[in-house]
Amino acid sequence: MSIEHTIPQERSRLPLIIAIAVVAAVIISGAFYLLMKKTMGPTPPPTLSGAIRAGSPDWQKYIKLIALDDPEADESPRALGDIVLTLHTTARNFTGRTITGLEVHAAGLDHQDPPVKEETEDVIPRPGRTELDPNKTAQVSVTIYGFTETDDRAKIKMEVTGFKF
């Protein structure tokens, strides 16, 4: 008498593997979307509290004595698909007083001069630099996120928008 052994056929696990891969892809792409939206979203411009600004009595007296050299820019693509523009310049303090706060506005301009993207940052104080002494210089930089390949990035501009002593 012969005994036949039958091995039960296992069901294919391919549909389960595909379903798990699709769910993982959706979760990962959702995480990247949220990260990209967070970095590219508008942020409120920082304001230097107690700063002297355009229109205040001391503005015209001191703004001529706080000089920014011509800015230079570094351009770099990111993995998120946008382009980052970092503007660098040297700030010079000829006011005779120690500057404890300096706010700078930076912009990437197109050929007709309207800004494509712009950013305002407090460049003093920052970690490692708490003030700018009289007749001294400081390297300052502002990073602007969110440029695309099609943006017209013809010019750059940096200007002081606020300071305090």
What is the C-alpha to C-alpha distance for residues 31 and 33, in angstroms, rounded to an integer?
Answer: 5
Query: Domain for residue 37, yes or no?
Result: yes
Query: Domain for residue 5, yes or no?
Result: no
pLDDT of 11 reads 67
For residue 46, pLDDT beyond 90: no
pLDDT of 67 reads 86
Q: Residues 89-116: what's their mean pLDDT?
A: 84
Query: Domain for residue 104, yes or no?
Result: yes
Query: How would you label 96-132 residue by residue, b for 16+ Cβ within 10 Å and e otherwise?
Result: eeebbbbbbbbbbbeeeeebbbebbbbbbeeeeeeeb
Residue 123: name the closest of 98, 140, 144 by CA.
Answer: 140
Q: What is the CATH number of the domain that holds 75?
A: 2.60.40.10
Q: Are both 90 and 17 inside the same structural domain?
A: no
Q: Are both 101 and 134 inside the same structural domain?
A: yes
pLDDT of 43 reads 56
Q: Are both 66 and 28 inside the same structural domain?
A: no
pLDDT of 41 reads 55
Query: Domain for residue 54, yes or no?
Result: no
What is the C-alpha to C-alpha distance for residues 61 and 63, in angstroms, rounded to an integer?
Answer: 6
Q: Provide the 3-class DSSP secondary structure of residue 28.
A: helix
pLDDT of 23 reads 94
Q: Are both 75 and 125 inside the same structural domain?
A: yes
Please state the pTM of the whole predicted model: 0.62
Q: Are both 35 and 65 inside the same structural domain?
A: no
pLDDT of 1 reads 56
Query: Domain for residue 51, yes or no?
Result: no
Structural domain of residue 35, as residue ranges? 13-42
The total of structural domains in the chain comes to 2
Query: Domain for residue 52, yes or no?
Result: no
pLDDT of 4 reads 65
Q: Residues 113-139: what's their mean pLDDT?
A: 81
* DSSP classification of residue 61: H
* DSSP classification of residue 32: H
